[in-house]
């Protein structure tokens, strides 16, 4: 992990040094790559678009119910092997299946000797197989599970907020989009005021909060690309 960050710093620093030789900032941005739409309309590699597309993963928490049979309503945590334990049915492979696929499978199992025409509903209560990384000037840096749709401010709150040295204008969100490494700069003060969108965070996103007065490669990157909630290719 440390080695990958060193490589990333080197890439960002090289971009900044290239900017110094460019005649103007616009030319530097052109060298960085394509500017994508705002984050909320950008498809990330770790995105889930709802129960239809999302595939259940290890440690997800599922809420399972059968219409008209209150006794069968329960919660099941997907184990590391992708299995869940279901009343009457026993162990069922949930990992890798979409919610409709799992609902259909449980319906078939309940119909096999237990219930007549069962209508199974599944709600993903915690998307813990989707994770976001927070680094830098937050109180508790680390990797956190996404328990549903989460915004940038909510993600920072999961790390117990910013520390006293945080630079509100120095927040970078890294994301893979269509196989490309992208980055967008944010001003959290502007987000809180409603002057900048509170972008949705997706699985595998990395959020880095810069420290005030820092002279890191991230600081130079932020000077070159001011916070505007737009993704640039690295």
pLDDT at 183: 84
Rounded Cα gap, residues 58 and 19, in angstroms: 44
Burial 48-85 (b: 16+ CB within 10 A, else e): beeeeebebbbebbbebbbeebeebeeebebeeebbbe
pLDDT at 19: 38
**Coil, helix or strand at residue 225:** coil
**Cα 61 from chain centroid (whole Å):** 17
Question: With contact defined as beta carbons under 8 Å apart, do 122 and 76 qualify?
Answer: no
What residue ranges do the domains of the chain occupy? 2-48+130-233, 61-126
Sign of the torsion formed by the C-alpha atoms of 122, 125, 128 and 134: positive
**Cα 158 from chain centroid (whole Å):** 12
Rounded Cα gap, residues 51 and 18, in angstroms: 44
Question: With contact defined as beta carbons under 8 Å apart, do 25 and 107 qualify?
Answer: no
Q: Are strands 206-211 and 131-136 parallel, antiparallel or unpaired?
A: parallel
Sign of the torsion formed by the C-alpha atoms of 174, 14, 18 and 30: negative
pLDDT at 20: 38
Assigned fold of 61-126: wza like fold (3.30.1950)
pTM: 0.57
pLDDT at 226: 53
pLDDT at 234: 62
The count of residues in the chain is 234
Tens digit of pLDDT at every position of the chain (234 positions): 444 444 444 444 444 334 333 333 333 333 333 344 444 334 445 554 444 567 888 889 999 999 999 999 999 999 999 999 999 999 999 998 989 999 999 999 999 988 999 999 999 888 777 889 999 999 999 999 887 778 999 999 999 999 998 988 889 898 887 778 888 889 999 999 999 889 888 888 999 998 886 665 555 555 555 555 566 666
Question: With contact defined as beta carbons under 8 Å apart, do 124 and 54 qualify?
Answer: yes
CB-neighbour burial class of residue 205 (10 A; exposed 0-12, middle 13-18, buried 19+): buried
pLDDT at 149: 78
Rounded Cα gap, residues 175 and 178, in angstroms: 10
Rounded Cα gap, residues 161 and 141, in angstroms: 10
Rounded Cα gap, residues 135 and 139, in angstroms: 9
Assigned fold of 2-48+130-233: Outer membrane lipoprotein wza fold like (3.10.560)
């Amino acid at each position: 992990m440390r080695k990958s960050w060193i490589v990333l710093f080197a890439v960002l620093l090289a971009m900044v040094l290239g900017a110094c030789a460019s005649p103007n900032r616009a030319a530097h941005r052109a060298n960085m790559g394509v500017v994508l739409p705002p984050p909320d309309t950008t498809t990330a590699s770790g995105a889930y678009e709802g129960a239809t597309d999302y595939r259940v993963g290890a440690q997800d928490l599922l809420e399972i119910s059968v219409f008209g049979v209150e006794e069968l309503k329960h919660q099941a945590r997907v184990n590391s092997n992708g299995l869940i334990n279901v009343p009457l049915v026993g162990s069922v492979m949930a990992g890798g299946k979409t919610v409709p696929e799992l609902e259909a499978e449980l319906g078939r199992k309940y119909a096999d000797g237990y219930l007549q025409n069962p209508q199974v509903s599944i709600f993903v209560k915690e998307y813990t197989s989707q994770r976001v990384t927070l680094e830098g000037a937050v109180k508790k840096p680390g990797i956190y599970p996404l328990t549903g749709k989460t915004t940038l401010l909510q993600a920072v709150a999961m790390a117990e907020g910013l520390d006293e040295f945080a630079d509100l204008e120095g927040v970078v969100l890294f994301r893979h989009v269509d196989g490309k490494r992208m980055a967008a700069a944010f001003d959290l003060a502007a987000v809180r005021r409603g002057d900048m969108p509170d972008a949705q965070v997706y699985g595998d996103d990395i959020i880095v909060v810069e420290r005030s007065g820092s002279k890191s490669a991230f600081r130079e990157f932020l000077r070159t690309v001011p916070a505007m909630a737009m993704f640039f290719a690295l």
